[in-house]
Amino acid sequence: MATPALNERLTLQIPLPSPRLAKIAADVLDVDKDLKPEVSRRLISTQDNILTLDFQTSTLKLLRTVVNSSLEMVQMVVSTMASFDTESGEP
């Protein structure tokens, strides 16, 4: 069976408070690799304080699923940072 074309695309650009935190978010999220890279891929990159998530999937349903679960993890990272970041001086 030929590899399906990954025609469904979505790009999310998420501003973080600083380049440091954007890099941390990218590093944390990138640990979890794509479960089925032949049908769904996620590319993570940063530019200054912007965290960019590029999604490419074969179907719209897969796109929705991977974007939703990624956003759940992004929310977890961001709220952890809001509660516990020490560099801003908060213990």
Partner 1 sequence: MIALGLEGSANKLGVGLIRHDMTTTPPTVTILANLRHTYHPPPGEGFLPKDTAQHHRSHILQLVKDAMAEGNITPKDISVICFTKGPGMGGPLTSVATVARTLALMWNKELVGVNHCVGHIEMGRQITGAENPVVLYVSGGNTQVIAYAEKRYRIFGEALDIAVGNCLDRFARVLNLPNDPAPGYNIEQLAKQGTKLLDLPYTVKGMDVSFSGVLTYIETNAPALLASGEYTAADLCFSLQETVFAMLVETTERAMAHIGSKEVLIVGGVGCNKRLQEMMDQMASQRDGKVFATDERFCIDNGIMIAQAGILAYQTGYTTPLEKTWCTQRFRTDEVFVAWRE
Size of the site for partner 1 (CB under 8 A): 23
**β strands within 1-91, DSSP E:** 8-15, 40-47, 50-57
* Binds partner 1 by CB under 8 A, chosen from 32, 37, 48, 71: 32
Query: In terms of Cα–Cα distance, which of 68, 62, 74 is closest to 29?
Result: 74
Choose the binding region for partner 1 from 2-10, 38-46, 53-61, 77-85 (rule: CB under 8 A): 77-85
Q: Does 71 bind partner 1 (CB under 8 A)?
A: no
Identify residue 43 by its one-letter amino acid code. L
Query: In terms of Cα–Cα distance, which of 49, 33, 51, 50 is closest to 41?
Result: 33
| Minimum CB distance to partner 1, residue 31 (Å) | 5
Q: Does 89 bind partner 1 (CB under 8 A)?
A: no
